[in-house]
Amino acid sequence: MPRALRLHDLGPSDSARRAWLAGLLSLGTCLGVACAPDLPVSQRIASPRILALRSDVITPLFPGDEPADAGTRCEALPFEKVRVTPFMVEPTGILDIAGPDFDPMWIACQLGPGQGLFACLRAAVPIDLDTLEECPVPSFADLDPNAPGLPEYPSPCRLPDDGSDDGRIDFVAPFAANLLLGGDLELTMISQGPGSPSTRECAEAMLSKAADLPNECIYAVARVSVGPIEKLLSFAGMFGFELPPELGEVPDPEDIPDGDRNPRITSFRVTILDPEAEEETELGELPRGAVIQVKRGQTIEIDTETPAHDLQTYPVPINNGVGGMGSELQTERIDGSWYRTWGRLLSGGSDDREAFNQWTMRKGEQDADELPPDGRATLFYVLRDSRLGVDWWWLEVEVEP
């Protein structure tokens, strides 16, 4: 089975994931159990893989309005700078995204309202990489109320190099008519991986709609929201643009909801259980990437917590807005996913902001040896809310025989 695909759960909903998978299938990537009889279980990290892409507004337009005790916004306003960070892992732990094995390029495409991930780029391929337009850097200077419409933002286009080699991408969120209608930005990341062809070769294969994508190339798709729509309408009204009547009235400031924010893992508590000695050792709160020593056969018990106020309440149109029935308020839900490079997990998922799991230091399903390679194993925890927010944590253990 080709290992070009590393990512399987970046979408905000099952429907978006299905659309994204369908898009990749149209490019010839084989997915599913039928590809091979010995696929690793989904929670086991057997090869380089992206577990998440996270977007953060790093240059807000109104920094004084940002609450002190809240996650960063993953939903950007036009002209704010956004940083997208991949969470890359491999069987030996965290993959160094600033290292030579990872060299991503990023393609932006404008999703229409209700479109699933990869729908935009899928509809545009095949594309000649050399003729793919570079995305402009949006600016307030682009706004002209006397123009017939909002500034155009090409779709698809390649995000310009942000000048860093840290594996992340910084870009400025655009202001385009498609976003006023409820669309989003689709970001496709293409990169070489350890032992793969170059990033250019990986990109040419994908954009040409090749039947077989190169082994070891890394592809990922994520959605970045620009909004909320109420704020976009306010922007357009503020700059004197005449809005189509079907978009409704410009809302009052008190009726504009807060942008979507990333949830936070604020607590990660660890206890070591020794079944033979009937003892437990509380290690307490551990930072991201902590390294601890554990004996083979012992169990690591993990308790995590996300603050209740990180689960935002937001308006959702009733009946998808059909019939003008207004909106109702919903509260975000939590979806946690656990992964490991070796060992046994009690559970692969959790749906509570106070999550619990156990990781036992014994050879697990499809593990080759009684001890992890080089005596080290890693646990990864990816936390999502039911919109586009994400956070993650990891813990490394040195396993003693």
Q: What is the pLDDT of residues 74-101, one digit of tens each?
A: 999 999 999 999 999 999 999 999 988 8
Q: What is the pLDDT of residues 137-193, one digit of tens each?
A: 999 888 887 777 777 899 999 999 999 999 999 999 999 888 888 899 999 999 998
Please state the rounded mean pLDDT for residues 198-206: 95
DSSP secondary structure of 242-261: PPPGGG-PPPPGGGPPPPPB
Q: Which of the four pLDDT bands, split at 50, 70 and 90, describes residue 33?
A: very low
CA pair distance 391, 265, nearest whole angstrom: 7
Q: Which domains does the chain have, with CATH numbers?
A: 14-255 (no CATH), 267-400 (2.60.40)
Please report the pLDDT score of residue 327 as a whole number. 76
Checking 139-145 for CB contacts under 8 A at 24+ apart, the result is: 139/79, 139/172, 140/79, 142/175, 143/175, 143/239, 145/239, 145/240, 145/241
H-type alpha helices, 5-124: 14-26, 119-124
321 versus 209: which is more confidently predicted? 209
CA pair distance 31, 41, nearest whole angstrom: 13
Global pTM value? 0.87
Residue type, 172: V
Q: Do 201 and 175 meet the contact criterion of CB atoms below 8 Å apart? A: no
- For the chain, what is the mean pLDDT? 86
Q: Do 208 and 26 meet the contact criterion of CB atoms below 8 Å apart? A: no
Question: Could you count the other beta carbons within 10 Å of the beta carbon of residue 375?
Answer: 13
Using alpha carbons, select from 287, 293, 282, 292 the residue that is nearest to residue 267: 287
Q: Do 113 and 227 meet the contact criterion of CB atoms below 8 Å apart? A: no
| Paired tokens of 57 | 């507004």
CA pair distance 328, 245, nearest whole angstrom: 22
